[in-house]
Amino acid sequence: MSNGDSYAITVVGHDRPGIIADVTGAIADLGGNLEDSSMTLLRGHFAWTLVVTGSDPVEIEHRLESLRHNGLRISVIALPEAPSHGDAGAVYVMSVHGGDRPGIVSALTKVIAEAGGNIVDLTTRLSGDLYVLVAEVVLPADTDIAVVERNLSEAATAVGVGVTLRPEDIDLL
């Protein structure tokens, strides 16, 4: 049944045991292959995005229908072939922390975008009044890191948070 097409599946709802087993079981039964996924709990809500190949999207939707009756919202979307980015550049980790307020993510990710950077992983958490953001950032190889750090610092000061940008430690992966 493998057709090589890729699909994004999103699953969101109240957390409960067995969601991952149910979804992956349905995909495996259809001959699908789970290639990438990211799952987290967001304020007690289960949130999972998967990239699957080799299954028919209509069959996936049909097999996952029973899970919708258990309060999950599920979508299956065909993905176009991803473009090649060639030499991706240098990988950095951006860490942000400070008092919560609107605009933190927007202000700091705008600096990365203006530098030609791409955010490939992003996590935010609110713990009491403390807001924490950690992002994996790919910057073009010819980026002047000192300029990016200065611009990040200015943006962070404007929204009242602290920011650091450091090269990714490959040993931690």
| pLDDT 10s digits, 105-115 | 999 999 999 99
For residues 10 and 58, give the distance between their C-alpha atoms in angstroms, rounded to a whole number: 15
Q: What mean pLDDT comes out for the span 19-24? A: 93
**How high is the pLDDT of residue 1?**
34
In the chain, % of residues over pLDDT 70: 92
Instruction: Write down the pTM of the prediction.
Output: 0.78
Angle in degrees, CA 76, 5, 80, rounded to 5: 75
In the three-class reduction of DSSP (H, G, I as helix; E, B as strand; rest coil), residue 104 is classed as helix
Which carries the bigger pLDDT value, residue 88 or residue 52?
52
Strands 73-79, 118-127: parallel, antiparallel or unpaired by DSSP?
unpaired
98 pLDDT exceeds 60?
yes
55 pLDDT exceeds 80?
no
For residues 97 and 154, give the distance between their C-alpha atoms in angstroms, rounded to a whole number: 14
- Please state, as a whole number, how many other Cβ atoms lie within 10 Å of the Cβ of residue 160: 13
**How high is the pLDDT of residue 172?**
52
**How high is the pLDDT of residue 85?**
59
- Right CATH number for 6-79 from 1.10.3210.10, 1.20.1440.230, 3.30.70.260, 3.30.450.20? 3.30.70.260
Q: What mean pLDDT comes out for the span 118-131? A: 93
- CATH 3.30.70.260 placement within the chain: 6-79, 90-168
Tens digits of residue pLDDT in 71-92: 899 999 999 887 665 557 899 9
153 pLDDT exceeds 50?
yes
For residues 85 and 116, give the distance between their C-alpha atoms in angstroms, rounded to a whole number: 13
Cα dihedral across residues 116, 122, 127, 132: positive or negative: negative
Strands of the sheet with 161-167, listed across from one edge? 118-127, 130-139, 90-99, 161-167
For residues 104 and 128, give the distance between their C-alpha atoms in angstroms, rounded to a whole number: 16
169 pLDDT exceeds 90?
no
CATH tag, 90-168: 3.30.70.260
